[in-house]
Amino acid sequence: MKKIIGLCFLILIILSGCGENNVEWEKTLADSSPEREFDILTSHSPENHYTINLREVSERMIDEKDKKISYRASALRIYSGDFGEEINHFEDYQHVEVSTVDFFKVEWRSESEAEVHIYRADQKGDSRIDDSILIKVHK
């Protein structure tokens, strides 16, 4: 009888420990952001009326089995708006694989229109414009 009581007590201790780990994991999940952003480049229009901000967006990846959270780069996000103010307007560019980009360059065509050039290395290792995105800043 003592063995059965001892075994039940041991099982109860183990199960209560598992519950704590699940509570901690659920808290970790709740505290983690579904995505993260990292600044790449900020550019201001020629007369400083507008700002363009390029950011890399990383998406949260959840590994339930190992109880781990990681982030993988998933998009280029371009914010645009008035200079000196909080910028909330943005567009996501899923087709831009940020991890393969050498660098970005913003070329302003006018006070409210800019072209974002995406440079990648060719087979010789020289950087070349691979793609461009036209940005029209709206008031």
**Given CA atoms 88, 93, 99, 102 in this order, what sign does their dihedral have?**
negative
Q: Are residues 17 and 58 in the same domain?
A: no
- The per-residue pLDDT for 81 is 94
- The per-residue pLDDT for 44 is 97
Q: Are residues 24 and 87 in the same domain?
A: no
Domain count, the chain: 2
- The per-residue pLDDT for 3 is 58
Q: Are residues 60 and 11 in the same domain?
A: no
Q: Are residues 41 and 62 in the same domain?
A: yes
- pLDDT of residue 28 exceeding 60: yes
Q: Are residues 14 and 46 in the same domain?
A: no
Q: Are residues 24 and 42 in the same domain?
A: no
Q: Are residues 27 and 41 in the same domain?
A: no
pLDDT per residue as tens digits for the range 81-112: 999 999 989 999 988 888 889 999 999 999 99
Q: How does DSSP assign 82-128, residue by residue?
A: ETTS----EEEETT--GGG-SEEEEEESSSSEEEEEEEEE-TTS-EE
Q: Are residues 110 and 45 in the same domain?
A: yes
Q: Are residues 107 and 125 in the same domain?
A: yes
Look up the domain containing 117 and give its range: 33-136
Q: Are residues 111 and 97 in the same domain?
A: yes
- pLDDT of residue 52 exceeding 90: yes
- pLDDT of residue 8 exceeding 50: no
**Mean pLDDT of all residues in 114-122:** 94
- pLDDT of residue 7 exceeding 60: no
Least trusted range by pLDDT, from 27-36, 37-46, 99-108: 27-36
